[in-house]
Structure 1
Amino acid sequence: MMGGLFSSSDPPPQPPPPSPPLLSEPWRTIHWGDNQSALQHVKDYKPPTEGQHIRILLYGPSGAGKSSFINSVQSVLQGKMCSQALVDNVSLSFTRQYTTYKIPKEDGQSFYPFVFNDIRGLEIRDGVLVDDIKLVLRGHMRDGYKFNPASTLSEDDLFYNKNPSTNDRVHILVLVTNTEFVMDAETVQKIQEIRMEASDLDIPQVAIVTKIDEICPEITDNLQNVYKVKYMKEKMEQFSAEVGIPMTSIFPVKNYHEEIDINSDIDSLILSALKHIITTGGDHVNFKKTQSECSGTWA
């Protein structure tokens, strides 16, 4: 006698197997273990104009890893652990003033033709003002300016640069966040305002997602799984939709944090992001140079 849909002798229906945590193929190609060509590309890079450097502005929530990314880049390029930019394990912004970081070459006599600028975090209270970031983008802020969360830099301030040169202006804007950060509506609004200003200035934009090793065991155990973990890709797609930066311009990385030695897989991800950043920034300089030759408006 049948008892419902299944007889008593039939095994109960089994739930479908869970989706595999890893994709069969990575959705982005990284040449793991072969960092020499990417490293040489960065070391040999020259901006399109003699004497020009690429100014890279990092911005984002406090604790996202902006300063750590600068240190990680320097560590990769020098082949040893470096800590030029001060970092702290706190939730509030540790960066208090506008600072330019130059990375020395191996000869100790010269610097790479790109610089990083670190600024105060985007926290709603006590964070950097959107209007200050707009001034930075246009090259109006001088090094050493201490950010005031209550008022923006005024034109009569000693740190206001009235006549910014090409080198003073930002050539690529990099949003830095991490896998733990949940963006509230006010932070997203700040980011969108900053992105709109950069777009008006034709400044290209990239995003870096840090702390990827903390998102799931598959990546914790093996960084090479970063482009195979479905959940990681879904998080990046969600982030892309929230801030409007396309997936092609979002790079997951792991900053050097507690390591005491260089790691090849960490280097691979940082070099992948860095190559894109400096090349894109250089394209912007070249574009503006062409514009200035036609109109004479970009000095």
Structure 2
Amino acid sequence: MGGVFSQSWRPLPKNNQDALDFLKSYSPRNHEATHLRILLIGPAGEGKSTFINSVDSVLQGRVANRAPTDQHVTADSFTKKYKTYKFSKTNEGHYSFVINDIMGMERTKGVHVEDIKLALRGHVKDGYEFDPENKLEEGDLGYNAAPELSERVHVVVTVVPAGVVSLLTSDMIAKLRDIRLAATALEIPQLAILTKVDDACPKAQKNVNNIYKSDYLKEQVYKFSQLLGLPVNSIFLVKNYSSEINTNDATDAHILCALKQMIVFGEDYLSHLND
């Protein structure tokens, strides 16, 4: 699938430790927020939970598997609940950011778009089990009537496999656009990660360092930018840890690049609330 450029079209930082130090020292400047909250959204079974495990793997320096995943090929979402994941520092408490996993979006089932909009504003309680047949309503047990700033979402990340960008249905694109517009109305920043790059591109599968050299993967980034309206510099290519038993610097670099930008964008949002 395509060729490989001689140079990366998006150079990555050469030193992973700088990004790790940034994440370790990060703390929201807005003191009303105890942490920064990242929400992952996207089609069912396309790498949201695996990305959470990959982030944990990078931070722990070993392959981790906290967020349940399902390798069975299905259109149904394996994640059913609204779950907050914290990340432990070695003997130093937790990092000052959390990632929320959510039920995947499907054509006829899956999480309701309106439930995702409620989550943006902090109205979905942690542990709430989504009901594809019924939207969450005010007064329900899972409804948080008075969310604090830390319970609201500070950055939204759309997760889609690089190899299915061209296969996204008009219905799925419309749902993603609907959420994007809702987040924009709340001034919540948005990014996207295109996962499973090794499945989409044999060159990337052969060598992780080819991810940002692949003309095919670059084409998918630009195509997704046009579909969703996100700037190209807000879309990142990621190889998740899925078959590996050890972490490596090259895979870490792509995950860290995306994660750091999520924190930077989310911090901009939180700081703006103080203006």
Partner of 1:228: 213
Partner of 2:183: 198
Which aligned pairs between 1:147-166 and structure 2 lie closer than 5 A?
Answer: 147-166=130-149
Partner of 2:272: 287
Which stretch of structure 1 is more off in the superposition, 246-255 or 223-232?
Answer: 223-232
- Structure 1 residue ranges without an equivalent (≥5): 1-19, 291-299
TM score, norm. by length of structure 2: 0.95
Q: Which one of the candidate residues 7, 13, 18 is aligned to 1:37?
A: 18
Larger C-alpha radius of gyration, 1 or 2? Answer: 1
Q: Is 1:83 aligned to residue 73 of structure 2?
A: no
Give distance in 1, aligned partners of 2:201 and 2:52: 25
Which aligned pairs between 1:50-69 and structure 2 lie closer than 5 A?
Answer: 50=31, 52-69=34-51
Partner of 1:296: none
Give distance in 1, aligned partners of 2:187 and 2:90: 33
Partner of 1:262: 247
Relative contact order, higher structure (CA 8 A, sep 6+): 2
Amino acid of the residue matched to residue 102 of structure 1? K
Which aligned pairs between 1:209-220 and structure 2 lie closer than 5 A?
Answer: 209-220=194-205
Give distance in 1, aligned partners of 2:158 and 2:150: 20
Shift of the alpha carbon at 1:111? 0.9
Shift of the alpha carbon at 1:230? 1.0
How many percent identity over aligned positions? 45
RMSD, aligned CA: 1.4
Q: Which one of the candidate residues 102, 126, 136 is aligned to 1:143?
A: 126
Q: What stretches of structure 1 move > 4 A for 4+ residues in a row?
A: none
Partner of 1:71: 53
Partner of 1:246: 231
Q: Which one of the candidate residues 92, 113, 116 is aligned to 2:96?
A: 113
1:65-100 Cα deviation digits (max 9, x unpaired)? 100111110110111111111111132210001111
